[in-house]
Structure 1
Amino acid sequence: MENLIMEKLFEEAKDALFLIEENKCIKQNNAASELATDYPFTLEKVLEIARGEGCMLHSTMEKCLDCEVRADWDQAAFPLILEDSKGRQEQFSGSYTVINQQNALLSIRRLALQDRLQQVIQNKRLIEYVNQAHENERRALSQELHDGLAQSIYSLMLETRQLKWNEESEDLATKLQKIDEDFVALLGEVKQLAIDLRPTALDDLGLVPAIETLLHRLTETTGIAIHFIPMIENKRFPDSVETITYRVLQESVMNSVKHASVDELWVTLSEQAARLILAVRDHGKGFDLQQMNEHSQGLGLLNMQERAESIGGHLIVHSEKAEGTTVTLQLPIQWEGVK
């Protein structure tokens, strides 16, 4: 009788339940069968994630780029991303319970309502952040135009007016040379401002050359060695994919430069399963992601996540104190909204 009751509870459980024996499923309930039909996945990959041996990002892929998005998850509740037959992704929560030396129970459920409410709150915070970021960008641009370009132009205007009263030819040649040098510097300021607003290399040459140009400039200005490993050919991607990849890279690298206290960074770019994968890794100070979100200090990360999700992509940040940080961006190369 007791066995029949347990059998019924197992079959009617709302969570997807898999009874595991030596890495193989020997029994699953109705919810598990529906989950496996709606979200085809490799059981071995999920078990690797549950044991902290696999990659949360590449749980739906046959191969992983060794992106180091790994952790010793609490087996009572570990994050999981599954993909349906149409390529749409959804977040789940899994648990892994060892029964005895041979058997274990794997449970998978969709995110709880509380988690979804938390996502709504984060989205509201993100909207506020984006609005404030736009205002900050306008303020910075206005200040740059006023304190930089406007002052340089005014200085050149005064220098050219002084030429009217210059009677010594030798002194005139020196001042003309000085004015010429100032014009060259002013032109450099204008070009740099234009690059910051929209990198021309991204439009003219493509993503890989634009990244190489950006990282070379950042290496020169910060002194940090940035190792870029492109694992794809130099080809064009949809404009939104290239732009989001570039901006997420830019923000990720600057976060490491400002906060990680490192002298080296690693950037990889690859293409896997019709997705563009960007990874930015440092071995710096690291941080507690959950604590940062609770104290509303992770809005820059939310901004990057919103950029990715706007075209059906996903951003994963893995960080541990004193162990470093890895930011992994994956974007669909083709989808209905990408042009």
Structure 2
Amino acid sequence: MAAPSIPSHVKAWVYSEYGSAVDVLKLDQNVAVPHVKEDQVLVKVVAASLNPVDSKRMRGFLKATDTPFPVRHSSHLSPVIVPGYDVAGVVVKVGSQVKNFEVGDEVYGDIIEKALDQPRQFGSLAEYTAVEEKLLALKPKNLSFVEAASLPLAIQTAYQGLEKTGFSAGKSILVLGGAGGVGTLVIQLAKHVCGASKVAATASTAKLELLKSLGADLAIDYTKENFEDLPEKFDVVYDAVGQSDRAVKAVKEGGQALKIVPETPTTPIFVLTSNGSSLEKLKPYLESGKVKPLIEPKGHFPFSKTVEAFSYLDTNRATGKVIVYPIP
């Protein structure tokens, strides 16, 4: 395939100081396309999804370990950060050492390897972005770009978190925040991939039927019940909301609670290490439909409305993922 024409400058959402999206996030019409290193590919971004970590980073919650705002000292760096972890798009250029992808490949991934440790300056909320080959996988053919963009960070967090607890067939699990981006995938993976003996999950009243449709055996209305007061205890409690003091009370003797949401900046949590091999491992379950992406019905925002997308994300009411699409 002939290499497509690549512009030198593109549109990207940027910020140069910490704060909420409505205050600091700006659309820059003239951002230099990132330089492609030998182990990277350049991706024409088709869709991106937002994660709570995007908002936390922008607000300065990760300041202690964040990449410092760059200093303008080369043609490839500007003193701004382009946010965005999740991407789906098409490869338009490959570095000299890239072996697994070629121009024209449809790919997806979480492009920030260490979610909280010096995350990259140039993320996915741009028309083009450069990504290390090892962080990407070929998009499952049955998924749209929007569906693929909704998955990488959330499904890898769900899957690697379950792996960390040693979760396996015959064990029981309670998922706190079962209707969120990660929780919806933990339920499906635990039930349909790991072979859980029982899956329980919490959500608000209106979302209980959704939990059951995803595979939950027990849907708990957190507005009416305290899950820690239930007589039944669980091998694993997967805390996707940040209720660790309560979560440990629902764990069986010998079981464990895993938390992914810091309640304070110093709270120890499970942190994802992104890699394309995790996505490749999960590909059969996505292609067979055992595991399905879930996108918030009100969560589709065009590129020009990215600030509004962040504002919706920050309400914490999304069921599944918030998506930015189309990207010009």
Instruction: Tell me which interval the TM-score lies in, with the shorter structure as reference length.
Output: under 0.3
TM-score calculated relative to the size of structure 1 = 0.27
More strand by share: 2
Scaled by the length of structure 2, the TM-score of the pair is: 0.27
Higher relative contact order by CA 8 Å / sep ≥ 6: 1 or 2? Answer: 2
